[in-house]
């Protein structure tokens, strides 16, 4: 499924008439069943119906199509059968250029110089010897290199341009590529051209010595150009280590530790992802503020466009390679290795490529690590997703947000610590998207059977725990009102997750955390357990509250401690700033005003700056407005919270100031925007 192929059709194409392409399509060899295995799958955990009977793992394909708790519980019928990426017809001369690769080396901690190594595969497609010149050009760096090459009939040869042979590849003062919030995403363009001396000889009327032809052939005649390709690359170093108090995995970019605020990417279930859809999804993810995406092992090898967008948006990519702990190993290991080689060659030059992982909750196919390292020694690798300083995930379903603050959100034990690869919650889609999913009769009153089917078999507890949290805002007598309240539940969950992880960033809080990956960020098909946005690409409240929680400078409130903290994701410190906290009662009357000066460390957190004062006679529901002002008095960040006086009765309850007792919000008077605008205009005129 992930093995790009090219076929020479020169001899069979009719250059003057019509042509047709016929494709013989077979289904996967082992479609598998969504039913659980009759006997345990070796090495698989057997969680629920994930992976079905495990048989689909014998293929090299998108394993989730057999059924998972975040997609159709009974699987996708066609099991990925068909053409799912672009097919293109292109023309070249006798020599083709393939697999261009630029590897950068920075002598860290010094980043004022870089060594660039350029490589590419040249292929002679003819039964004649071919002579010519390979030209490499990076205009922005002043790199202009020409190398004479002779290829035997049908020869394939890897050409390497090394800085020891070509001094211009020793770059002075390069512009570096950084992930979001850490710096600019500077990209350079490399153009590789092969000019055939054979063709150039035919284009001239006089016989010339071959060396003279090679040196001039670029200017002789356009017919001499056999092939030309352009690719982008970034000069950066992305590494990982375990130099942390708890030996958890840590990511560094250009020698600088980066706190990972990432997410898991799940592919579109029917493999019908378009370029337009990919663009909009990644723009949402960038807007939210995530700095890394994990391509989960039961998914796919993403498109070139996906990586190009991540390069330009500053989103690092963790790529996993089609093995999971719920499915068997590939039957034909040579096919798997061909897919692995093809994928690494295709993606390795991208600035966003940050990490390779062989499997999700399993282990590597023997030899996979050696194959990866032989093709890309610059990118770090681990054999599976839960090892080597990365602990197992959870929570996955709806959880009372109070449990994020007291770190009881998973029955597996502490989760907000170290590096967590899967930590997340659902959010109900907006009204129009729900109406697209099912008949009106199943929408309201909620048809539990249908909603549970659209929730991976009820996995995310949308009709149970999430429903109970929605009802904490008061009973709804129609779907529109229910959906509005459900957005508040999702908003609270998402922002609380982001804020709790930021609170514990690099040990500034109660625990040490080096990063987390939200599980999961995008909907693979229409589902009631939506995410930042739903399958229809409509943003939910979760998008905007995640954006608030992950803003690079952020002032936040802790529902358990009642304290205010400030986080900073930039690489520079800020001094002389001020935090202002105003509390309003249900009638929007200001009842408390506090402020504190604060110096914010570079890439750090100032926790528990002060405790918020709440009067004893405060209304059962009230509001908190936090503003962060710079040293000129300008507001640079703000956050708004709703809070209740409901007592938190501990984990696995629908109680607490972030969860229960919000019924009074139904009595809140609607704000008259027109009257306010008219008053503002009147004041301006005065």
How much is the pLDDT for 140? 95
How much is the pLDDT for 683? 72
Sign of CA dihedral 291, 296, 301, 302: negative
Residues listed for the chain: 686
What is the distance between the alpha carbons of residues 484 and 130, in angstroms, rounded to a whole number? 68
Measure the CA angle with vertex 446, ends 454 and 529; round to 5°.
Answer: 35
How much is the pLDDT for 543? 97
What is the distance between the alpha carbons of residues 310 and 316, in angstroms, rounded to a whole number? 7
Q: Considering the entire predicted model, what is its pTM?
A: 0.93
Q: Which domains occur in the chain, in start order?
A: 95-233 (2.60.40.10), 553-674 (2.60.40.10)
User: Which residues neighbour 91 within 8 Å (Cβ) at sequence distance 6 or greater?
Assistant: none
Q: Is the peptide bond before 241 cis (omega within 30 degrees of 0)?
A: no
Q: What is the mean pLDDT of each run of 10 residues along the chain (686 residues)?
A: 91 92 93 84 63 94 95 91 90 95 96 97 95 96 96 97 96 97 98 83 41 42 81 97 96 98 96 95 97 97 97 98 94 96 96 96 94 94 94 94 96 91 96 96 97 94 97 96 97 98 95 96 95 95 98 98 98 97 95 97 97 94 98 96 97 96 90 76 75
How much is the pLDDT for 208? 43
What is the distance between the alpha carbons of residues 110 and 107, in angstroms, rounded to a whole number? 5
Residue the block writes with tokens 């519980």: 73
How much is the pLDDT for 252? 98
Residue the block writes with tokens 């008061």: 474
Q: Write out the two tokens for 60.
A: 């090299």
Q: Are 344 and 103 in contact (CB under 8 A)?
A: no
Sign of CA dihedral 543, 545, 549, 552: positive
How much is the pLDDT for 677? 76
Q: Which of 488, 542, 554, 485 has its CA nearest to residue 518?
A: 542
How much is the pLDDT for 391? 93
Enumerate the H helices of 527-609 as residue ranges. Answer: 541-549
Bridge partners, 606 (sequence order): 566
* Residue 601 CB neighbours (<10 A): 14
Please give the order of strands across the beta sheet that includes 292-295. Answer: 380-382, 353-357, 316-320, 292-295, 260-265, 513-518, 418-423
Q: Which of 184, 180, 212, 213 has its CA nearest to residue 199?
A: 213
- Give residue 424's region: left, alpha or beta (phi > 0; psi -120 to 50): beta
Bridge partners, 350 (sequence order): none
- Give residue 413's region: left, alpha or beta (phi > 0; psi -120 to 50): left
Residue 40: phi and psi, rounded to 5, are -55, 140
Q: Write out the two tokens for 328.
A: 């068997």
Query: How many whole angstroms from its chain centre is CA 68?
Result: 20
How much is the pLDDT for 45? 57
How much is the pLDDT for 37? 78
């Amino acid at each position: 499924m992930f093995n790009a192929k090219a076929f020479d059709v020169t001899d069979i194409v009719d250059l003057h008439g019509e042509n047709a392409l016929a494709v013989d399509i077979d289904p996967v060899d082992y479609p598998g069943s969504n039913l659980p295995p009759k006997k345990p799958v070796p090495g698989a955990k057997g969680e629920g119906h994930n992976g079905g009977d495990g048989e689909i793992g014998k293929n090299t394909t998108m394993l989730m199509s057999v059924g998972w708790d975040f997609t159709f519980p009974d699987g996708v019928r066609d099991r990925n059968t068909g053409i799912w990426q672009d097919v293109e017809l292109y023309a070249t001369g006798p020599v083709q250029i393939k697999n261009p690769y630029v590897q950068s080396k920075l002598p860290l901690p010094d980043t004022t110089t870089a060594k660039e190594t350029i490589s590419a595969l040249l292929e002679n497609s003819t039964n004649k010897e071919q002579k010519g010149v390979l030209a490499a050009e990076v205009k922005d760096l002043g790199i202009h290199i020409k190398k004479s090459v002779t290829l035997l009939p049908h020869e394939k040869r890897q050409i390497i341009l090394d800085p020891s042979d070509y001094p211009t590849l020793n770059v002075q003062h390069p512009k570096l590529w950084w992930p979001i919030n850490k710096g600019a995403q500077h990209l350079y363009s490399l153009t590789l051209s092969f000019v055939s001396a054979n063709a150039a000889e035919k284009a001239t009327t006089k016989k010339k010595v071959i060396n003279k032809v090679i040196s001039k052939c670029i200017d002789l005649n356009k017919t001499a150009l056999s092939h030309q390709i352009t690719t982008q690359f970034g000069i950066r170093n992305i590494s990982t280590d375990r130099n942390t108090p708890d030996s958890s995995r840590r990511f560094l970019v250009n020698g600088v530790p980066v706190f990972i605020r990432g997410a898991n990417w799940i592919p579109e279930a029917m493999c019908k992802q378009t370029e337009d859809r990919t663009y909009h999804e990644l723009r949402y993810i960038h807007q939210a503020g995530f700095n890394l995406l994990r391509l989960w092992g039961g998914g796919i090898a993403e498109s070139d466009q996906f990586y190009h967008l991540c390069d330009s948006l500053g989103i690092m990519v963790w790529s996993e390679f089609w093995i999971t702990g719920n499915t068997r190993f590939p039957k034909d290991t040579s096919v798997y290795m061909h897919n692995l080689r093809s994928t690494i060659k295709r993606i390795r030059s991208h600035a966003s490529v940050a990490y390779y992982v062989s499997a999700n909750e399993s282990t590597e196919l023997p030899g996979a690590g050696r194959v990866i390292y032989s093709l890309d020694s610059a990118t770090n690798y681990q054999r599976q997703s839960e090892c080597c300083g990365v602990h197992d995930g959870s929570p996955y379903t709806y959880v009372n947000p109070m449990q994020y603050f007291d770190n009881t959100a998973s029955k597996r034990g502490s989760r907000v610590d170290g590096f967590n690869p899967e930590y997340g919650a659902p959010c109900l889609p907006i009204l129009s998207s729900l109406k697209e999913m099912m008949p009106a009769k199943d929408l309201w009153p909620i048809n539990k059977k249908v909603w549970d089917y659209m929730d991976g078999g009820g996995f995310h507890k949308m009709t149970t725990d999430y429903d109970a949290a929605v009802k904490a805002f008061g009973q709804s007598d129609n779907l529109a009102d229910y959906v509005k309240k459900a957005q508040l539940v999702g908003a609270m969950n998402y922002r609380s997750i982001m804020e709790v992880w930021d609170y514990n960033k690099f040990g500034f809080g109660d625990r040490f955390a080096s990063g987390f990956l939200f599980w999961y960020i995008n909907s693979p098909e229409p589902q009631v357990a939506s995410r930042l946005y739903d399958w229809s690409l409509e943003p939910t409240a979760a998008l905007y509250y995640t954006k608030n929680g992950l803003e690079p400078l952020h002032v936040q409130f802790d529902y358990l401690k009642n304290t205010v903290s400030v986080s900073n994701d930039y690489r520079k410190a800020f001094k002389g700033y001020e935090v202002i906290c105003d509390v309003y009662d249900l009638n929007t009357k200001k009842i408390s005003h506090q402020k504190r000066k604060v110096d914010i460390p570079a890439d750090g957190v100032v926790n528990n700056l002060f405790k918020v004062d709440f009067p004893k006679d405060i209304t059962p529901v009230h509001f908190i407005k936090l503003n962060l002002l710079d040293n000129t008095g300008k507001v640079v960040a703000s956050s708004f919270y709703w809070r209740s006086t409901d007592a938190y009765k501990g984990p696995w309850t629908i109680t607490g100031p972030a969860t229960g007792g919000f019924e009074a919000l139904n009595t809140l008077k609607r704000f008259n925007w027109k009257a306010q605008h008219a008053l503002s205009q009147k004041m301006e005129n005065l």
